[in-house]
Amino acid sequence: MKITFGFRQLSALALSVLLSLTLFSLPAHAFVTQAYQTLLRDNACNNCDLSGADLAQKDLYGTALNGANLSNANLSGTLLNDAQLKGANLTGANLSGTIMMGVNLSEANLTGANLSKADLYNALLSKAKLPTANLTEADLTEAIISDTDLSGAVVKSAKLKRAILSRSNLSNTDFSDSYMRNTRLLDAKLTGANFSNADLSNSLMPDGTTYNNNVSQFGATR
């Protein structure tokens, strides 16, 4: 009896140790899969780890992903209108062709992200990080991009009419062929920025003056 009881105790202990080892040795994608299922079920997954997740073409209208890790995730063609992504990590993410009208991306990290042809009409991107991001042909009409780091980003042939870029770092940003009428650039840093063939009509320049066909005084080229 004592031997049997001792064996049962040992078996229970061994099972407990085995389960603990299994839990801590689970691959990272297992937790990503769980977060993915939570997102699709609840349309919310704040602070979740969704790094590398494939969310292409999904309907995530109004979803809450504040503080989520979406680095290197595929969100190409996804519907994210009115979604909340404040403080999210989207470094290296694929957001090409994504529909994000009214999205909140304030304080989000989009370093090196692909946002080509993305629809960011009226989006909130204040204090976001977008160094070296690709925004070619993106629609940023009336977007709020103030206090944002866009240094080295490619924003060619984009729509930025009435966009607010006040106090943003636009050093070495390529705005060539972009439509930027009535854009606000008050106190923005334009050193090395390229405005070749860009339409800046009626835009407010860094010094508070209206655009007069000269950007060289701000260290930019045209």
Tens-place pLDDT, residues 26-54 = 444 555 789 999 998 999 999 999 999 99
* pTM of the predicted structure, to 2 decimals: 0.85
d(CA 173, CA 136): 11
The 10s digit of each residue's pLDDT in 74-113 is: 999 999 999 999 999 999 999 999 999 999 999 999 999 9
Q: What's the mean per-residue pLDDT of the chain?
A: 90
Q: Residue 83 in contact with residue 104, Cβ under 8 Å?
A: yes
Q: List the one residue out of 109, 115, 96 whose CA is nearest residue 68.
A: 109
Q: List the one residue out of 186, 192, 178, 177 whose CA is nearest residue 210.
A: 186
Which pair of tokens denotes residue 93?
């993410």
Q: List the one residue out of 167, 199, 169, 172 whose CA is nearest residue 184.
A: 167
